[in-house]
Chains A and B, each alone.
Chain A
Amino acid sequence: KQEVTQIPAALSVPEGENLVLNCSFTDSAIYNLQWFRQDPGKGLTSLLLIQSSQREQTSGRLNASLDKSSGRSTLYIAASQPGDSATYLCAAPSGANSGYALNFGKGTSLLVTP
């Protein structure tokens, strides 16, 4: 079974800092990997999806990288803002044969202080 781990579990930074969230997964035979954001008590917002053939994907101040061989993905947030405060979730499928079955990490809870 695909195991997804996210480090750190929580992070507090002052506004303006660049930061990196880490995600590792045990089964590298994945079709893609997806990053989400979740605000307290709310559903998930899709941030970025990286296909297995890609090394990185960018959207605004967000950049996600994928290294399948090492089983790692990172989410880079540039010039953080208080509105970025949320829980960030990494999700990897259960290997090549069940690519739709997402396995989630426990998330990194981010607090950006003004």
Chain B
Amino acid sequence: ETGVTQTPRHLVMGMTNKKSLKCEQHLGHNAMYWYKQSAKKPLELMFVYSLEERVENNSVPSRFSPECPNSSHLFLHLHTLQPEDSALYLCASSQALMGAQYFGPGTRLTVL
């Protein structure tokens, strides 16, 4: 695989479920990002990791919990979500902070 991959591509969950989104980058980058894209709204930055350390938490509710075990993998753990959390969740990576960001295909999340 090349570039940035995300799994699953589609996810439907109830408000009481716990699920995780996975992102993997095959570019040798050191920074990884989570973004949220809701209908009719611009993309919103959620979290930023550099060398596996979180450098940004953009006022995201605690029901979203990121994890970066190494520079190639990024997870977003989800629990007790709300219907308004339904969106396209995009992962990105860059060689270093402030470098060009490369995006994965996204996970389409629906919360019932």
Tell me the bound Cα distance from A91 to B103 in angstroms: 13
Please classify how large the interface on chain B is, using the bins under 10, 10 to 19, 20 to 34, 35 or more: 20 to 34
User: Whose C-beta in chain A lies nearest to the C-beta of B108?
Assistant: A41
Tell me the bound Cα distance from A111 to B105 in angstroms: 21
How would residues 91 to 114 of chain A score, 1 for a CB under 8 Å from any chain B CB and 0 otherwise?
101000011111111110000000
- A80 adjacent to chain B (CB < 8 Å): no
A43 touches B98 (CB 8 A): no
The answer to whether residues A46 and B103 also contact, given A4-B42, A101-B45, A101-B56 and a CB cut-off of 8 A, is yes
Q: Which 9 A-B pairs have the closest CB atoms?
A: A99-B98, A44-B103, A100-B97, A43-B105, A104-B43, A49-B100, A104-B42, A43-B103, A43-B106
List 23 interface pairs A-B (beta carbons < 8 Å), by A numbering: A31-B98, A32-B100, A34-B101, A41-B88, A43-B6, A43-B103, A44-B92, A46-B102, A89-B43, A99-B97, A99-B98, A100-B48, A100-B50, A100-B55, A100-B98, A101-B45, A101-B48, A101-B58, A102-B45, A102-B101, A105-B42, A106-B40, A106-B41
